[in-house]
Structure 1
């Protein structure tokens, strides 16, 4: 059994989600990004963070 995996990184707008969506459609096993859900839970938002949201998160830690 193979235990190969790939980590996809890059800046905002680099195409990470597009790449992972294409890999998933092609039948590859993909794991959701945990960090995105954590940020959405903390901010109550589905979109990106603004500077005020980032400051609130940093202050709460």
Structure 2
């Protein structure tokens, strides 16, 4: 399955910009406001970001190599 460029670009922007910025925002607000489970939440967001980044990277490699998967 090939992902249309428009969707790939949107997902790439979310993974590279929005999710890391969200993790930093949650970390700082959580520490300032004393939110419970701030560190755990940030770790989950970062783990999901890495997963999506690797998935998009592999998709990009397959696309450049002319692969179908």
The interval holding the TM-score normalised by the smaller chain is: 0.3 to 0.5
Instruction: Return the structure number with greater helix share.
Output: 2
TM-score between both structures, scaled by the size of structure 2: 0.33
Higher relative contact order (CA 8 A, sep 6+): 2
* TM-score, scaled to structure 1: 0.35
